[in-house]
Chain A
């Protein structure tokens, strides 16, 4: 145990920037933490300790020479194993891609490295990012530090467990139906699914082109903002990358929520809900009200449509990406994942386009709602982390029985379908010590406002500052 374990980027940057701690000391502490926690957490598929130490030494030389690059200089991170890393195995969680060595870095990994951050390794994930539970039949479970027999949630499972377990203050994930926010919620982290198009997906193995988002999982909204300042920006190599002027996501972070209108959906969201989650999220919303936000009820039936759209969009787009490969190497895929992808081949063009019509309508309904509010607030998930033993089976929440995956994406997927920025932040604990989470959603490209509200909430509470003992 080191006094650097579990520190935030902001804390480490202050120590590194003032030369109280060297990047090498941070790297050594991180790698000791990996050694200590990995037998319990199984966060990593590939550890790159030697490269990490070399990068930390380089950062130390640069900083000693007065070439400090900013708050990410000398900061370790982890990345989900579908972010391409030059010369480092990138499996996308599949046995089929064992030994794949990309010849270049994904844009986001390159940006982090240019900012002076360095990777500790590649983290476990659901195969091809196609499961919200986080289970991987080839690499096994990553275990949730808040309850080792509980789901970390996925598909960015190993990123969630590694950051929560204290080995690095930041990790990269992707989110197609909730795969950043669900692990953030289950593992007690702050995770942002940015606006669609804000963060490049170049060099990120796709699951569903129109739903995939890349983003960070950290301990705090402030750290997410610091990371977004590096990750966000136009990338001509991602055809859906937005052409927008760079935004400083830390500017205005301390401006609070006074006068902001925060909408709380009255329908659908609360129909299937664990009472402890509801109580903690309603208290979090009340806290935002005490901080000066104006809390208003909103009716948003479009939330319910996500469950009818998400499966079609994901499986058809995954089928388009994997089609040729799955015919050749299908035996190397997890057989359940394989069939979920193959089933997408049977969905008709008529159904796909009707789904896209519903998507257009849902987008308009959301836009209408956001004319009257600045943010939406909901729980991230209807229940705390489920036992791993539930798997993809049916479970009961709030007196209703639903498959675990439908429960876990119930409140997150709509914001993938329509691309709004959505953040998950810790807002309490269940009676058995599991993290509970609030979701804040903003207008497209108002990610900074989402972060500002989360930062205000985290300034008034300490849920995000708690660390698991395991």
Chain B
């Protein structure tokens, strides 16, 4: 299993939001911060799964696709 990334602070969020070009009043940015924290927490669940021996696969490797 891989270690989970640390939880994002409000300060780090606002810095990153500015870099990403995301703007809004305080209420909007607070709501977006809460939404983002929730998304990151759910996403972090994948670090609890032991994926030793597996490489990232954007599609099912058994598929034959491509133009």
Contact = CB atoms under 8 A, between A and B. Distances in A.
Interface of A: 195-197, 210, 236-244, 305, 307-309, 311-312, 315, 327, 335, 339-340, 342-348, 350-351, 353-361, 363-364, 367, 418-419, 444
B22 A308 contact: no
B60 A351 contact: no
A351 B5 contact: yes
Interface residues of B, number: 39
B64 A357 contact: no
A47 to B, nearest CB: 35
12 contacts: A195-B63, A237-B67, A240-B66, A335-B28, A339-B35, A345-B20, A347-B39, A351-B43, A351-B46, A351-B47, A357-B51, A363-B60
Given A197-B65, A345-B22, A308 B35 contact: no
B63 A242 contact: yes
B67 A196 contact: no
Contact of B39 (A195, A242, A343, A355): A343
B59 interface: yes
A361 B42 contact: no
The interface residues of chain A, by DSSP majority, are classed as helix
Given A242-B63, A312-B46, A346 B40 contact: yes
B15 to A, nearest CB: 11
Contact of B43 (A238, A305, A311, A345): A311
B54 A240 contact: no
Q: Count chain B CB atoms within 10 A of each CB in A237, A315, A345, A353 and give the residue with the most.
A: A345
Nearest to A420: B60
B49 to A, nearest CB: 5
Interface string B21-54: 1100000100110011011101111111101001
Contacts of B9: none
A346 B59 contact: no
Given A345-B22, A346-B36, A358-B46, A210 B54 contact: no
A359 B57 contact: yes
B55 interface: yes
Given A239-B67, A346-B20, 13 more contacts: A239-B65, A240-B59, A305-B46, A342-B22, A342-B32, A343-B36, A346-B36, A346-B39, A346-B40, A356-B57, A358-B54, A363-B62, A418-B60
A340 B5 CA distance: 20
Given A308-B46, A357-B55, A363-B61, A347 B67 contact: no
Interface of B: 2, 5, 8, 13, 16, 20-22, 28, 31-32, 35-36, 38-40, 42-49, 51, 54-67
A466 to B, nearest CB: 36
Contact of B64 (A244, A354, A361, A418): A244
B60 A327 contact: no
B35 to A, nearest CB: 4
A345 B21 CA distance: 11
B60 A315 contact: no
Contacts of A327: 21-22
A389 to B, nearest CB: 22
Contacts of B39: 311-312, 315, 340, 343-344, 346-347
B46 A354 contact: yes
Given A345-B22, A351-B46, A360 B67 contact: no
Contacts of A339: 31-32, 35
B43 A308 contact: yes
B51 A347 contact: no
A444 B63 CA distance: 7
Contacts of A340: 35, 39
A361 B62 contact: no
Contacts of B66: 239-240, 243
B65 A305 contact: no
Contacts of A358: 46, 49, 51, 54
B2 to A, nearest CB: 6
Contacts of A354: 2, 46-47, 51, 56
